Amino acid sequence: MFKKASLVAAIAAAGIFSSSAALAETWRFALEEVEGSVQDAYAQEFKKRIEERSDGDITIEIYPYGSLGTSSQLTELVQQDAIQLAFASPGHLASVIPETGVFTLHFLFSDDNEVNEQVLANTEARSMLQEAYHEQNLQLLGIIPEGWMVWTGNRSIETPQDMEGFKIRTMTSPILVESYRAYGANPSPMPYAEVYSGLQLGQIDGQVNPIFAIEEMSFYEVQDYMIQAKQAQFITTLVAAQDFYENLPEEQQTMIDEVTNEMRGYIFDKQDEFNEQRLETIQENSDIELITLSEEQREAFREMSLSVRDTYIEQAGERGKKILETLDEELRAAEEEKGGSDNG
């Protein structure tokens, strides 16, 4: 869908130049998701707040998924400073920044998503991550949960045995591929835009995404089962071109930092609302079967997932190990403080 030539043509048509300097007051913001998605809701609100606060000095142009390229291509465009802002989800980004693979590890985050949000908002791991983003010419602006990753399939998946040979589409990061190999599945990484036809043509048996995405990408139309195992959150990161960010006047950097901080509650509520409402839409429009795994069933997957943490450390090195340890400690401490769930 996104061949290099058409990508270049799209950028030319959009009038995107190679340097942000020529675009002083227009910031281009690319999404990995379509209009009406969680990322779109974020971008629309960000645009509103920045334009208001800058008194019209800054205009934000939003490019939903499909207008510029795949997730990996969007990241490249930000790295080259051809666009200023984008979402870069670890499910793809870990191919470039292995440390971000931590956000895709199974059974690391809390079963209580408020705990996850609280930890992600304040994590001490942020400075180590920022270092890794800088090495790739990116500025990390935010780490944002978008909802539980739910499996869909042409068969039900309730035990690791059901995963045996299951051809599941994953995002493109190597650590995600390993996460599904650990269950005995046959992971098939591919870009988001190819998933619907892959399912429809039977090239893949299933995929994994949050409910709002399963609805808006119509995956539920070509699948028989939706399985909630609460094995992982979909966590995205908001990035800027590092040169662009560092060359901004200090008050504009502060404005971005304040707006992204102030928007945390807004987007957390939005993703919750979207995931809840779209589940109703799916149920109204299809007879897809919804299965929620019991604690015992989840435990079987959890045990098999633990070895993937070693693979992550092999890929992400010493800094990646420290990021994992920091997040793990913070998550367990926050759970304890809340007296809530135990997700080991």
Q: Measured between alpha carbons, how far is residue 226 from residues 65, 149, 207 in Å?
A: 24, 10, 10
Strand order in the sheet with 59-63: 59-63, 26-30, 85-87, 233-241, 138-148
CB of 134 to ligand 6CS, least distance (A): 23
- Cβ nearer to ligand 6CS, comparing 195 with 313: 195
62, HSE (Cβ side, Cα atoms, 13 Å): 22
| Distance separating alpha carbons of residues 46 and 255, to the nearest angstrom | 11
CB of 139 to ligand 6CS, least distance (A): 20
Residue type, 339: G
CB of 208 to ligand 6CS, least distance (A): 8
**Partner residues linked to 209 by β-bridges:** 150
Q: What is the DSSP string of 122-145?
A: H-TTHHHHHHHHHTTTEEEEEEEE
CB of 56 to ligand 6CS, least distance (A): 31
Q: Look at residues 16, 1, 173, 37 and name the one whose alpha carbon lies nearest to residue 85.
A: 16
Helix locations, the chain, DSSP H? 4-13, 38-53, 71-79, 90-93, 113-122, 126-134, 160-163, 174-181, 195-200, 211-216, 242-246, 250-262, 264-285, 295-305, 307-338
- Cβ nearer to ligand 6CS, comparing 91 with 98: 91
- Cβ nearer to ligand 6CS, comparing 149 with 334: 149
- Cβ nearer to ligand 6CS, comparing 118 with 209: 209
Residues near ligand 6CS, by CB under 6 A: 32-33, 71, 89, 92, 171, 192, 209-210, 213, 234
CB of 132 to ligand 6CS, least distance (A): 20
CB of 308 to ligand 6CS, least distance (A): 19
- Cβ nearer to ligand 6CS, comparing 45 with 243: 45
Of all residues in this chain, which one has the CB nearest to ligand 6CS in the complex?
A: 192
- Cβ nearer to ligand 6CS, comparing 33 with 330: 33
**Partner residues linked to 150 by β-bridges:** 209
- Cβ nearer to ligand 6CS, comparing 54 with 186: 186
CB of 42 to ligand 6CS, least distance (A): 12
